[in-house]
Structure 1
Amino acid sequence: MKNVLTLLFVLVCSLASFGQSIDAPWETIFDGNDLKGWEVPENNVWWSIEEGALWAKSDAEEIGSILWTKKKYTDFVVQLDFKFGYGTVDTGIYMRGDDSKNVQIQIGESGSLKRDMTASPYVPSLGYPVEAEGISELLKLNDWNTIKSMTIGNTYKVWLNGVVVMNYKLENANLVGPIGIQLHPGKEMTVQFKNISVAEL
């Protein structure tokens, strides 16, 4: 009987973690002051901190860059605020690295589809397997937006400005890796980020 109750408790906790409320403690991984928890690339010309915001700016050659956390994560939820700058913004959040079994949560325009795919998952081997819903009504093009992305095992869930917009399950997903923020190559653009936090589940 004890084992059954334990199993039910674990199941209820797992289901609850896919609701809006996150009970796990949050850790700030960008507080507007420094990038000490991140692997800053050599000869960095892409990432800077201005007035408490993390700026991603394309370089003259449009090489692009990915800013990675030093820490690797398994099950977690990451939340950040973002604001579009100039150019065609094509960025996103890498959930557990960037191999072929990885999900990136898009922010901005898809380079392949030539339209906004914010909050949709991109998988290198699949493209965009599903599309987030209700984005045109929720996305603020000239103001700050809040995106929250959760992964538990091979499942993914995304909120945009407090509303659930995407659920997805990727078979054989990569289950451990760092969190990354992308500045897409081949683009002239700027985008800002702030209030980046993670809760491990």
Structure 2
Amino acid sequence: MRHSLKKPFACLSTAACALLFFASSCQNNSQNSASDGWEPLFNGKDLSGWKTMAGKAPYAVEGDAIVGTMTKGTPNSFLVTEQEYGDFILELEIKLEGSTTNSGVQIRSHFDAAANDGKGRVYGRQVDIDPTPRAWSGGIYDEGRREWLYPLDLNPDAKTAYKPNEYNKIRIEAIGDEMKTWINGVPAARLLDTVDNSGFIALQVHSIPDSLDGKKVYFKNINIQTKDLKPTEFPTNIYIVNTKANDLSSDEKAAGYSLLFNGTDTTGWRSARGGGFPASGWKIENGIISVQKSDGGESTNGGDIITDKQYQAFDLSFDFKLTPGANSGVKYFVTLNEETKGSAIGPEYQILDDKEHPDAKLGKDGNRTLASLYDLITSDRNPRPRKPIGEWNRGRIVVTPENKVTYYLNGYKMLEFVRGSEEFRKLVAGSKYKDWDKFGEAEQGHILLQDHGDAVSFRSIKIKEL
């Protein structure tokens, strides 16, 4: 396939790879035909092979494009392929009028006719087209189901790829469990997900406020490959969302990631109190490591557990699941040098049931709530990243060699700070950590899972040293 970047280009920068890929894509766009494996999904004349579903926004052919018209008072509307597809590579061009609306391309999607009081609902993964200042075009959303799987906060370099009020070239590769996206040749999102291995492709006109009534979305040059697929190389520095529990793909391994929890035993972990792993208070079952409920006190049962190894700069991600009213946390740069009767000392990614646990109302301005830097910096209060209690959430902590620290929750950026900066030290001076010398500034330290006496589960704990 002419679109694939071969391995000699793998060492190039993301920008260079994008330019090379875009040049190749532009050349191939004029050559797409059945002879080189591409087949058109739109014949350029009418909507043969397509049907409308869910909302009532109209679709028509204008010139060489399918045009959807935004229509007030109707839910999301879709133009759906009559055929279903499994593995494929899809390319198309999309243009939206305005900068306050939204569109997308559904892949491997389905229709629930009984949903919405019998009006029906399209559900499945969607490549988002987002001209708003958020700029998440190319991100991956699960329409009508799990919502955001790959927000572009995870790949901010791709946020500038979309061109407002112009045609944008979209490339989507769905091969096996892997999905990759590009916007105008710029790599955008990469997802490994076992949900749905086939389904229809659909074009979306989003529901709108009345002020956008009549604006249009244009789709053209819609071509697909379904045979002899060759995946395109993706830059190794772009974060991969892998929804498979305790799994590392070959590319994650090649990028330097390793599992801190292997899903079966306590290898690599020990008690923060010294000695081996706690004899009680923690449980490993079905690929999940859980702290058991006791009295709700801090480190009073099995106690905190820490990694055998210490880390300096790293990219750490972890899935966690709270029970009602629960409290826990993930700490890092834990040295064990401090004398404390409770939990070991270190900067903390707060894990909390904000609604039911009283700690959410303590501290300052919510700086003890979920995904906050505990007692220091409040996380972004946007409610959308927060999944309900009892569902799995994904936390992520990135610490660069320059000491910049960034927190994410389910792919959304929640906060950032610089360890050792004047601003950071001022925050520490006004916190419960004020009496600890150079709190949070250790050169290296252990990673810790906290026992706060509440039942909390963890899985898919993986790390890349930077």
TM-score by length of 1: 0.77
SS in 2 for 1:30: coil
Identity %: 25
Root-mean-square deviation (Å)? 3.2
In the alignment, structure 1 residue 129 sits paired with structure 2 residue 150: yes
Q: How far is the alpha carbon of 1:94 from its aligned partner?
A: 0.7
Is the 8 Å Cα contact of residues 131 and 162 (structure 2) preserved in structure 1?
Answer: no
Matched to 1:164, the amino acid is P
Quote the Cα distance in structure 2 between the aligned partners of 1:17 and 1:163: 13
Residue 63 of structure 1 is matched in structure 2 by 75
In the alignment, structure 1 residue 176 sits paired with structure 2 residue 198: yes
List alignment gaps of at least 5 residues for structure 2: 8-20, 29-34, 112-121, 228-466
Deviation string for 1:93-141 (max 9, x for gaps)?
111114798321101158xxx8231000012314243425433432111
Q: Please, which of 45, 49, 54 is the counterpart of residue 66 of structure 2?
A: 54
Q: How far is the alpha carbon of 1:91 from its aligned partner?
A: 1.0
Q: How far is the alpha carbon of 1:163 from its aligned partner?
A: 2.4
Aligned CA distance change for structure 1 residues 73 and 46 (closer, same or farther; 3 Å): same
Aligned CA distance change for structure 1 residues 69 and 198 (closer, same or farther; 3 Å): same
Larger relative contact order (CA 8 Å, sep ≥ 6): 1
Larger radius of gyration: 2
SS in 2 for 1:32: coil
Quote the Cα distance in structure 1 between the aligned partners of 2:6 and 2:105: 19
TM-score by length of 2: 0.35
Q: How far is the alpha carbon of 1:64 from its aligned partner?
A: 3.3
* Aligned residues between the structures: 183
Aligned CA distance change for structure 1 residues 137 and 126 (closer, same or farther; 3 Å): closer
Residue 118 of structure 1 is matched in structure 2 by 137
Q: Please, which of 26, 51, 57 is the counterpart of residue 39 of structure 1?
A: 51
List alignment gaps of at least 5 residues for structure 1: 1-12
Is the 8 Å Cα contact of residues 31 and 194 (structure 1) preserved in structure 2?
Answer: no
Residue 159 of structure 1 is matched in structure 2 by 182
Aligned CA distance change for structure 1 residues 133 and 33 (closer, same or farther; 3 Å): farther
Deviation string for 1:66-105 (max 9, x for gaps)?
1100110000011110112136221111111147983211
SS in 1 for 2:181: strand
Residue 219 of structure 2 is matched in structure 1 by 193
Quote the Cα distance in structure 2 between the aligned partners of 1:101 and 1:193: 20
Is the 8 Å Cα contact of residues 89 and 190 (structure 1) preserved in structure 2?
Answer: no
Q: Please, which of 39, 47, 67 is the counterpart of residue 27 of structure 1?
A: 39
Aligned CA distance change for structure 1 residues 130 and 85 (closer, same or farther; 3 Å): closer
Q: How far is the alpha carbon of 1:44 from its aligned partner?
A: 6.1
In the alignment, structure 1 residue 108 sits paired with structure 2 residue 120: no
Quote the Cα distance in structure 2 between the aligned partners of 1:43 and 1:120: 23
Quote the Cα distance in structure 1 between the aligned partners of 2:192 and 2:87: 14
Aligned CA distance change for structure 1 residues 98 and 89 (closer, same or farther; 3 Å): farther
Is the 8 Å Cα contact of residues 107 and 117 (structure 1) preserved in structure 2?
Answer: yes
Quote the Cα distance in structure 2 between the aligned partners of 1:125 and 1:96: 15
Deviation string for 1:168-188 (max 9, x for gaps)?
112x31001110111112443
Q: Which protein has the bigger strand share? A: 1
